[in-house]
Chain A
């Protein structure tokens, strides 16, 4: 089973690399170098802050865009190219293994991509700050949280991919990401409602993915540390939520008639 999962994951990774996904690294490098030089000249007193904000935002946004655009095609493309039948019929691969393998492959792609960007990012921080200190450890935490964002969005894109067309899947995925960034506000709004509406709103607010607590970019830009408890809770939350979304994906995919 592990072997089959690994094979699907590795092939997904190879396919993404063949699709020139890693080309975004060039754009990222240009962005970081350009920002370091440009903002130093046209702004005041925020060289390091802008580098951290821009670098981490770019790592996050590039990853999310890649996750959505690749994630939505993971299943539909296989169906369209008729390769899915070959995989599922001619090889001893179960449907849940196929979905999980695809998920792991895309997460692997995004992790490699983010790690390569992080190397460039830390090189730029080293250049601007003339050294790295203990305080920069919080930057690692922010990158870890970004990876957790990727896990969530990949699972969601894959879920939509199991029952919808690529265009609608991408719209759904972007929408759910945008709504997820308001998760904390939604819970606040729900508290203001009364009666049945309150229950309904609260349920909906807890159902959307909580992307808000995974974004600590502005915080770490000011050298604020992230609480270890938050790291633990976010990790557990993403594991549980992504597990739920994957379960839903497998469930839908199992029921789907592929003939």
Chain B
């Protein structure tokens, strides 16, 4: 080995040894320092300042912040955390840097809405965040869909959910189910007139046989709901006048409250049991919310609309 080669080898070995030692030391430092304080820090809290500092390269910075959201949520979720302190600010930062980046609205809102430890448990913030996404991307119909689900499942507000689905259904290219969801939830909310209007609209504007039969089924059920409500009012009025509930429909006919025995849209008589109006065959009306015999469950689950369309062509 020449002297020059020996010197070169010595340098290479020394360099290798020092780099290995530095890696070892960094690993030791990582063990001493907890990464928790770092996790919860937002170095620059103002999204607008970060956008300015990006010098126009805000798209890349938004991608990096979105990746940080995913990593932050993943780490906290794995640790079954009850609090996600910087999740909302991180999402706000990402969406300000790139308002057209859709995954933060679509997925980030789920992170925000779900109850701890599955998420931050802040559905109101999730709804606000998706509304921001809709303002920035009014043509992204999926955002209305996400908003509808947050209102329906997390905030238990079917009226607002129906409104979100309805708004989304008007966006070009929106899935036809958006209208189905809007109508189903409007019915669920007790806004029967709105539901009847929307289902009639669907019936008149679609050539899809599954959708049409589903709409007809829904309209029949809504008719039953409104008829049961009306009949129940007459029954209650009779009970108020006489001091006891009617034993049969004939009592109401004799009292002038009805012209004849009422029948449902499938031509079966409505039942009268202990002063309560009930349908004879509830299985024929899977979406009714009124007139169900005791023990029968509500069949109106708007989330299963898609199922109904494909599995119940009647």
Contact = CB atoms under 8 A, between A and B. Distances in A.
B103 interface: yes
Interface in A216-231: 217-219, 221-222, 224
A53 B60 contact: yes
B70 A218 contact: no
Interface string B45-86: 000000010011111101100110011000000000000000
A221 B59 contact: yes
Given A54-B63, A218-B58, A49 B101 contact: yes
Contacts of B58: 218
A53 B71 contact: no
Contact of A217 (B57, B66, B102): B57
Contacts of A42: 67, 70-71
Interface in A158-188: 177-178, 181-182, 185
A57 B56 CA distance: 10
* Interface core residue of B56, B102, B107 (most chain A CB under 10 Å): B56
A141 to B, nearest CB: 15
A222 B56 contact: no
Interface in A9-56: 39, 42-46, 49-50, 52-54
A212 B58 CA distance: 12
Classify chain A's interface size: 20 to 34
B98 interface: yes
Contacts of A53: 57, 59-60, 62-63
A60 interface: yes
B100 interface: yes
A50 B94 CA distance: 13
A218 B66 contact: no
Contacts of A54: 60, 63
Contacts of B103: 44-46
A42 B67 CA distance: 7
A217 B67 contact: no
Interface residues of B, number: 20
A181 B60 CA distance: 16
Contacts of B52: 182, 185
Contacts of A118: none
B59 A181 contact: no
A215 interface: yes
Contacts of A224: 100
Interface string B92-130: 000000101111001100000000000000000000000
A181 B107 CA distance: 31
A211 interface: yes
A74 B57 CA distance: 28
A61 B107 contact: no
* Interface core residue of B55, B70, B106 (most chain A CB under 10 Å): B55
A49 B102 CA distance: 11
Contacts of A181: 55-56
A181 B102 CA distance: 25
A218 B59 contact: yes
A50 B61 CA distance: 9
A60 B58 CA distance: 13
A46 B107 contact: no
A26 B60 CA distance: 20
Contacts of A52: 59
A177 B107 CA distance: 36
A217 B60 contact: yes
B66 A215 contact: no
Contacts of B70: 42-44
Contact of B60 (A44, A57, A212, A219): A57
Interface in B239-290: none
A218 B62 contact: yes
Contacts of B101: 46, 49, 222
A222 B107 contact: no
A222 B98 CA distance: 10
10 nearest A-B pairs in the assembled complex, by CB-CB distance = A218-B59, A45-B103, A215-B56, A53-B60, A43-B67, A53-B59, A50-B63, A181-B56, A181-B55, A57-B60
Interface of B: 52, 55-60, 62-63, 66-67, 70-71, 98, 100-103, 106-107
Interface of A: 39, 42-46, 49-50, 52-54, 57, 60-61, 177-178, 181-182, 185, 211-212, 215, 217-219, 221-222, 224
Given A42-B70, A46-B103, A57-B60, 15 more contacts: A39-B63, A43-B70, A45-B103, A50-B63, A50-B67, A53-B57, A53-B60, A53-B62, A177-B55, A212-B56, A217-B57, A218-B62, A219-B100, A221-B98, A222-B100
